[in-house]
């Protein structure tokens, strides 16, 4: 590691640490359990967490800008609800998709505007957004609504064959496209650079003449859009809409982003880190299900411990 | 001071009047078997755990912190006590169980304090660790089951009566205690000093770290007592759902009460008003016959409304702080 250090910039270290953790976790699983080290297990990591990958990508923008978005889990639930009840009412699939994405980004826009114009903490505003979206689900229906639309079901169950007999769903393709788009916007555009600048120091960014308003509101629109897209993926995954879907998913998304090496103070991190963070969380769940004797609540404890370790590591790095 | 409390007070009065219009008997109280009954008593009783947690949260927020783990801590307290009591109906076992639970909560508070004051981690993240892991721990204690107990002594905490329900009396007692300790001594001012600028207050001779540890321990113990109330009220410990989202309610109560999340000033009266508003709102939604799940929409509207009303002040405070930093 010491010989590597001068060549690998220190800003990549947290992401590399997460990748190493993923490899170790997966290696442990492969060594201990038969059938763990198969292509399909890796593919399943993506299939079961496609919506979380999309959420983490959106959350990365918000956290990089120094904010936080607690509403994402509820927006996912609202999107499933709108999708399911829209399809039930006989709307065409394209209209449902447009409506869901519009609702998500509009909620994001509203929260961003309130945060920026009135200088209220993102925590409180997105908390209100979380309550609002969750409540709106129940306004639509208190019951779970199942999705029976033929087109939707076909897309949900369609399998894409990859070489080696591995199959993935369209969800995975969409999630990876979102990650690619997010990487492009964050690392290759002026908007992306301004996100980093605002997260590093908002007043400096403002004094440099950067469009901080657009960025501070924009990140919440992106997060809202990603959440509603994740909601669509989640409806494909669950084939139902329910107000109690995705409870606490915002915490999973935040945990994935933090484990992926993004600093919660803002300004440091990568979209790819969030993706690897999700994979780490997924691997832990897979490990625990392969183990069989460990109960599901160990997942929560392990995630908590991992969060702690990564925060402590980040802390020492920032001090340096 | 008066001005800051005006809006929350108006909101509460408006809510109460709305209830009076919908159910004319809303304000009526009656005595039966030496117990006081009525809708107002119900509001207070159901709001007692939120108020208690909000009190701890107020002090944490006053130091510019936040504690997301209180709901998980409440679940742990209930789980530990119920598992300790088991099938026993003995008062001593119940008291011992509660004592163990509260000591454990204090330890959890020390842990939060260590992460925030010792390691210097952002409070929201530091307590997120325990929020995530805590429910897992609570489930570990109950082995994933809902543990039910049948213990009259334990029942007293959440469902007992001394004219008023015991839980109300406990919450009000803690409120009075906190008000006395922080406002009649310099402690309150020191807490606010730490919230305004931890470094400057440390240089001025305030033991900033000790104060931060203290408020997190206090918040965790409050959460523990609230957890006992919740679990005692139903004579069961539900690791998954006990105190779920109560941290959000508590934070809302604090913010509605005019305590700024930026730290540096707090109002216990405001927190009391905030907790009452949230509970009255919930009760109102029940009484006017809307699906209880829709309460969340009303909560969101109230939060945004109260925050917007207070916003110019928040903005003034923030810009003042920015000037102070840059000069």
**pLDDT tens digits for A43-63?**
999 999 999 999 999 999 999
Q: What is the pLDDT of residue B23?
A: 81
Q: What is the pLDDT of residue B32?
A: 81
Are the beta carbons of A156 and A169 closer than 8 angstroms? yes
Are the beta carbons of B75 and B135 closer than 8 angstroms? yes
Helix B70-85 / helix B208-234 crossing angle, nearest 10 deg? 50
pLDDT at A1 over 50: no
B307 vs A120, A135, A311: nearest CB: A120
Distance CA B266, CA A110 (A): 28
Mean per-residue pLDDT of chain B: 87
B122: which chain A residues are within 8 Å (Cβ-Cβ)? Answer: 264-265
* Inter-chain residue contact B133 with A121, CB threshold 8 Å: no
For B216-240, what is each residue's pLDDT tens digit?
999 999 999 999 999 999 999 988 8
**Chain B interface includes A293 (CB < 8 A):** no
Q: What is the pLDDT of residue A76?
A: 97
pLDDT at B308 over 80: no
pLDDT at A91 over 60: yes
For B11-38, what is each residue's pLDDT tens digit?
889 889 888 888 888 888 888 887 888 8
pLDDT at A231 over 60: yes
Give the closest-approach CA distance of A30 to chain B in angstroms.
Answer: 26
Which residue does chain B place closest to A132, by CA atoms?
Answer: B297
pLDDT at B325 over 80: no
Among B90, B105, B231, which Cα is nearest to B159's? B231
Q: Which CATH class is domain A10-319?
A: mainly alpha
- What 8-state DSSP symbol labels residue B23? -
Q: What is the pLDDT of residue A239?
A: 92
CATH number of B22-326: 1.10.3470
Partner residues linked to A161 by β-bridges: A167
Are the beta carbons of B321 and B195 closer than 8 angstroms? no
B122 vs A128, A265, A299: nearest CB: A265
Q: What is the pLDDT of residue B108?
A: 97
Pairing outcome for strands A240-241 and B236-237: unpaired
* Inter-chain residue contact A125 with B307, CB threshold 8 Å: yes
Q: How confident is the model at residue B320 (pLDDT cuts 50, 70, 90)?
A: low
Q: How confident is the model at residue B324 (pLDDT cuts 50, 70, 90)?
A: very low
For A234-258, what is each residue's pLDDT tens digit?
999 999 999 888 888 888 899 899 8
* Inter-chain residue contact A118 with B295, CB threshold 8 Å: no
Q: What is the pLDDT of residue B327?
A: 37
B132 vs A128, A255, A315: nearest CB: A255
Distance CA B149, CA B88 (A): 8
* Inter-chain residue contact A135 with B299, CB threshold 8 Å: yes
A138 vs B133, B140, B291: nearest CB: B291
Residues 6+ positions from B34 with CB-CB distance below 8 Å: B161, B163
For A189-206, what is each residue's pLDDT tens digit?
999 999 999 998 888 999
Which residue does chain B place closest to A110, by CA atoms?
Answer: B304
* Inter-chain residue contact A129 with B300, CB threshold 8 Å: yes
Are the beta carbons of B243 and B226 closer than 8 angstroms? yes
A43-57, A150-164, A297-311 — most confident range: A43-57
Instruction: List the alpha helices (DSSP H) in chain B.
Output: 2-22, 39-62, 70-85, 91-113, 123-142, 152-159, 166-183, 187-196, 198-203, 208-234, 246-256, 268-287, 295-326
pLDDT at A320 over 70: no
Distance CA A103, CA A242 (A): 17
A307 vs B122, B129, B297: nearest CB: B129
In this prediction, the answer to ipTM > 0.85 reads: no
User: How large a percentage of chain B has pLDDT more than 70?
Assistant: 94
Residues 6+ positions from B173 with CB-CB distance below 8 Å: none
* Inter-chain residue contact B133 with A135, CB threshold 8 Å: no
Which residue does chain A place closest to B256, by CA atoms?
Answer: A124
Among B251, B314, B264, which Cα is nearest to B55's? B251
B130: which chain A residues are within 8 Å (Cβ-Cβ)? Answer: 304
Q: Indicate which of B116, B122, B136 best probes the interface with A, i.e. most A CBs within 10 Å of its own CB.
A: B136
Question: Where exactly are the structural domains of chain B?
Answer: 22-326
Q: What is the pLDDT of residue B294?
A: 80
Counting Cβ atoms within 10 Å, is residue A86 exposed (0-12), middle (13-18) or buried (19+)?
buried
Residues A218-243, mean pLDDT to the nearest whole number: 95
Question: CA B292, B293, B294, B296 torsion: positive or negative?
Answer: positive
* Inter-chain residue contact B136 with A299, CB threshold 8 Å: yes
Which residue does chain A place closest to B143, by CA atoms?
Answer: A295
User: How large a percentage of chain A has pLDDT more than 70?
Assistant: 96
Six token digits for residue B181:
């300790």
Q: How confident is the model at residue B114 (pLDDT cuts 50, 70, 90)?
A: very high
Residues B242-268, mean pLDDT to the nearest whole number: 86
Q: What is the pLDDT of residue A317?
A: 67
Which residue does chain B place closest to A137, by CA atoms?
Answer: B294
**Chain B interface includes A207 (CB < 8 A):** no
Are the beta carbons of A237 and A54 closer than 8 angstroms? no
Are the beta carbons of A25 and A287 closer than 8 angstroms? yes
DSSP string, B51-74: HHHHHHHHHHHHTT---TTHHHHH
B132: which chain A residues are within 8 Å (Cβ-Cβ)? Answer: 251, 255, 300, 303-304, 307
Q: How confident is the model at residue B317 (pLDDT cuts 50, 70, 90)?
A: low
A127: which chain B residues are within 8 Å (Cβ-Cβ)? Answer: 248, 251-252, 303
Are the beta carbons of B257 and B278 closer than 8 angstroms? no
Distance CA A315, CA A309 (A): 10
User: Distances from the Cα of A147 to the Cαs of A155, A170, B150, B319, in angstroms?
Assistant: 12, 17, 44, 50
Backbone angles phi, psi at A196, to 5 degrees: -60, -40
- What 8-state DSSP symbol labels residue A10? G
Distance CA A84, CA A156 (A): 13
Six token digits for residue B304:
């945004």
Question: Where exactly are the structural domains of chain A?
Answer: 10-319
Among A106, A101, A139, which Cα is nearest to A231's? A101
User: Distances from the Cα of A203 to the Cαs of A114, A147, A217, B325, in angstroms?
Assistant: 19, 48, 16, 11
pLDDT at B297 over 90: no
Instruction: Please indicate whether residue B33 or residue A114 has the higher confidence score (pLDDT).
Output: A114
B248 vs A127, A300, A311: nearest CB: A127
Instruction: Please indicate whether residue A81 or residue B161 has the higher confidence score (pLDDT).
Output: A81
Six token digits for residue B290:
């809307």
Distance CA A101, CA A99 (A): 6
B120: which chain A residues are within 8 Å (Cβ-Cβ)? Answer: 315
Residues 6+ positions from A93 with CB-CB distance below 8 Å: A87, A149, A151, A152
What is the pTM assigned to this prediction? 0.84
* Inter-chain residue contact B299 with A124, CB threshold 8 Å: no
Three-state DSSP state, B233: helix
Residues B70-89, mean pLDDT to the nearest whole number: 93
Residues B92-109, mean pLDDT to the nearest whole number: 95
pLDDT at A296 over 50: yes
For tokens 């002090």, the residue is B59
* Inter-chain residue contact A251 with B131, CB threshold 8 Å: yes
For B185-218, what is each residue's pLDDT tens digit?
999 999 999 999 888 888 888 888 999 999 999 9
Instruction: Please indicate whether residue B155 or residue A312 has the higher confidence score (pLDDT).
Output: B155
Three-state DSSP state, A70: coil
Q: How confident is the model at residue B312 (pLDDT cuts 50, 70, 90)?
A: low
pLDDT at B287 over 90: no
**Chain B interface includes A205 (CB < 8 A):** no
Q: Indicate which of A202, A294, A300 best probes the interface with B, i.e. most B CBs within 10 Å of its own CB.
A: A300
Q: What is the pLDDT of residue B272?
A: 95
């Amino acid at each position: 590691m010491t010989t590597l250090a001068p060549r690998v910039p220190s800003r990549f270290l947290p992401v590399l640490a997460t990748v190493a953790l993923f490899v170790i976790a997966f290696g442990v699983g492969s060594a201990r359990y038969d059938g763990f080290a198969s292509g399909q297990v890796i593919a399943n990591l993506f299939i079961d967490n496609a919506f979380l990958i999309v959420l983490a990508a959106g959350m990365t923008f918000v956290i990089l800008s120094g904010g936080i978005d607690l509403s994402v889990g509820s927006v996912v639930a609202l999107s499933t609800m709108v999708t399911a009840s829209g399809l039930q009412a006989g709307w065409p699939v394209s209209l449902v998709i447009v409506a869901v994405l519009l609702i998500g980004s509009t909620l994001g826009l509203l929260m961003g505007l309130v945060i920026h114009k009135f200088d209220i903490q993102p925590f409180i505003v997105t908390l209100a957004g979380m309550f609002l979206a969750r409540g709106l689900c129940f306004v639509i229906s208190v019951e779970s609504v199942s999705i029976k639309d033929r087109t939707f079901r076909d897309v949900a169950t369609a399998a894409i064959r990859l070489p080696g007999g591995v199959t993935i769903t369209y969800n995975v393709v969409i999630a990876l496209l979102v990650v690619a788009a997010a990487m492009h916007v964050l690392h290759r555009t002026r908007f992306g650079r301004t996100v980093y600048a605002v997260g590093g120091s908002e007043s400096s960014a403002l004094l440099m003449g950067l469009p901080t308003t657009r960025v501070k509101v924009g990140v919440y629109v992106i997060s809202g859009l990603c959440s509603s897209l994740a909601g669509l993926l989640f409806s494909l995954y669950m084939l139902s809409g329910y107000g109690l879907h995705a409870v606490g998913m915002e915490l999973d998304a935040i945990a994935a982003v933090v484990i992926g090496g993004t600093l919660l103070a803002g300004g440091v991190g990568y979209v790819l880190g969030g993706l690897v963070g999700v994979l780490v969380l997924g691997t832990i769940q897979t490990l625990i299900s392969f183990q069989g004797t460990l109960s599901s609540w160990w997942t929560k404890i392990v995630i908590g411990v991992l969060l702690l370790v990564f925060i402590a590591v980040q802390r020492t790095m920032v001090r340096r | 001071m008066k001005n800051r409390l005006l809006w929350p007070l108006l909101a509460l009065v408006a809510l109460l009047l709305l209830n009076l219009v919908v159910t004319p008997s809303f304000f009526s109280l009656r005595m039966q078997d030496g117990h006081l009954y009525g809708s107002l008593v119900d509001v207070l009783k159901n709001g007692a755990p939120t108020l208690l947690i909000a009190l701890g949260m107020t002090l944490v927020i006053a130091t510019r912190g936040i504690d997301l783990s209180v709901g998980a801590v409440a679940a742990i307290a209930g789980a530990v006590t119920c598992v300790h009591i088991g099938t026993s109906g003995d008062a001593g076992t119940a008291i011992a169980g509660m004592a163990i639970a509260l000591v454990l909560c204090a330890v959890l508070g020390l842990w939060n304090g260590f992460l925030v004051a010792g390691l210097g981690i952002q409070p929201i993240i530091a307590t997120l660790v325990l929020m995530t892991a805590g429910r897992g721990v609570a489930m570990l204690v109950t082995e994933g089951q809902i543990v039910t107990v049948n213990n009259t002594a334990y029942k007293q905490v959440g469902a007992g009566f001394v004219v008023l329900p015991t839980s109300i009396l406990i919450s009000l007692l803690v409120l009075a205690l906190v008000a006395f300790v922080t406002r009649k001594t310099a402690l309150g001012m020191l807490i606010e000093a730490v919230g305004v600028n931890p470094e400057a207050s440390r240089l001025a001779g305030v033991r900033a770290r000790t104060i931060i540890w203290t408020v997190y321990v206090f918040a965790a113990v409050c959460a523990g007592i609230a957890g006992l109330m919740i679990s005692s009220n139903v004579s069961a410990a539900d690791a998954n759902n006990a105190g779920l989202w109560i941290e959000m309610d508590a934070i809302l109560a604090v913010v509605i009460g005019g305590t700024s999340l930026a730290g540096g000033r707090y109002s216990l009266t405001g927190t009391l008003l905030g907790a009452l508003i949230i509970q009255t709102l919930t009760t109102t939604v029940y009484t006017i016959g809307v699906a209880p799940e829709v309460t969340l929409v009303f909560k969101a509207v109230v939060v945004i409304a109260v925050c917007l009303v207070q916003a110019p002040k928040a903005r003034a405070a923030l810009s003042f702080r920015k000037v102070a930093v840059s000069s």
